[in-house]
Amino acid sequence: MLITGDGDFQGMLSGGCLEGDLAERARMVLQSGLPQVVTYDLGKNDEELWGLGVGCDGLMRIFLQPLLPESGYEPFATMARAFGGVTEQVAATVIESDCDDLRPGETIVTIDGNVGYSNVSDVYSRGLDVEIAITLQARRSEYREIATKSGTARLLFSLLMPPPAILVLGAGLDAGPVVRFASELGWRVTVQDHRSAYIESGKFLLADQVHCVPVAKLAQVIDFADYAAAIVMSHHLSSDREYLRQLARSSIAYVGLLGPIDRRNRLLAEIGDDAKNLAERVHGPAGLKIGGRGPASIALSIIAEIHQELLRESPA
């Protein structure tokens, strides 16, 4: 959650119950320049918290870290760069410490596997390299206690996962809602269609990239390795066939195909041996069976299925 000095915020941690109080605390953190740990114990549903009537149940422990212009808004600026990449990175943040030279708020952030930002003393940063590698290998965020010669520090090793990128192959009327829903989730969307009229008439302002190239040349303008999912929806038989042929030779985990089962089977038969590489990845007809009709509801079912598949691939 990002909170500005005037109390505005992006993101939510509690569903709206605690954000007002967090904004007030964030203002104090910005004024002092010192981080703060806040604990909300909501375990007693029969009691109202500060007269707000929260009653959410559970316990939340939140670390408020100041981001100041004089420090270039670090470490958030480097974390934003990490989220803008295509590989998972790590932010290691000191939450608590009784070491004089390792203070709460000090952070290391990796970019492309190397240190992109650090205000941690070299004495400690070299030892934290191993812990960062462990986090990347485990693919999950962890809270760990680190023993040093001068005391003990507790750090949060956060896995920074860039938002997934999806490839929409076809720019018909039904592609618009797919792009909008994916963008609302924060996903990065690339739209491609070989027909310039479709691209020009489509509403793809929310897409990160829009291409209009011959189907056979798609691999020359994009790197399939950057994408977590692709939806084949050109509604043009020969184009869909060539898209499937190229996707079969990629490592994209989810390949959605619009149209009935018979059409899917025909297309897979026509791409020959390449179909074997799609057997466990192709979803056709694409989308969860929610009973919807029309472009918006079909798009909803497709995005929901991709979301479900991405969660299966994500770390616990």
CA distance 228 to 247: 11
pLDDT at 124: 86
State whether 198 and 303 are in the same domain. yes
Residues 157 and 132: beta-carbon distance below 8 Å: yes
Tell me the pLDDT of the chain averaged across its residues.
90
**Residue 285, preceding bond cis, omega within 30 degrees?**
yes
State whether 171 and 309 are in the same domain. yes
CA distance 113 to 88: 9
State whether 94 and 194 are in the same domain. no
Residue 48: alpha-carbon gap to chain centroid: 34
pLDDT at 241: 96
Q: If DSSP codes are grouped into helix, strand and coil, which group holds residue 117?
A: strand
Q: If DSSP codes are grouped into helix, strand and coil, which group holds residue 299?
A: helix
- Boundaries of domain holding 113: 72-162
Matching residue, tokens 């990002």: 2
Domain end point (choices 118, 145, 162): 162
State whether 181 and 151 are in the same domain. no
- Taking only the tens place, the pLDDT of each residue in 138-193 is 999 999 998 888 889 999 999 999 999 999 999 999 999 999 999 999 999 999 99
CA-based end-to-end distance of the chain:
21
Residues 216 and 238: beta-carbon distance below 8 Å: no
State whether 218 and 260 are in the same domain. yes
pLDDT at 43: 66
Structurally, how many domains does the chain consist of? Answer: 3
Domain end point (choices 18, 43, 66): 66
State whether 153 and 88 are in the same domain. yes
Alpha helices in the chain (DSSP H): 19-32, 76-83, 122-138, 175-184, 196-201, 218-221, 237-248, 261-270, 294-313
Single out the residue of 310, 288, 9, 58 nearest to residue 187, CA to CA: 310
CATH number at residue 229: 3.40.50.720
* Band of pLDDT at residue 46, cut at 50, 70 and 90: very low
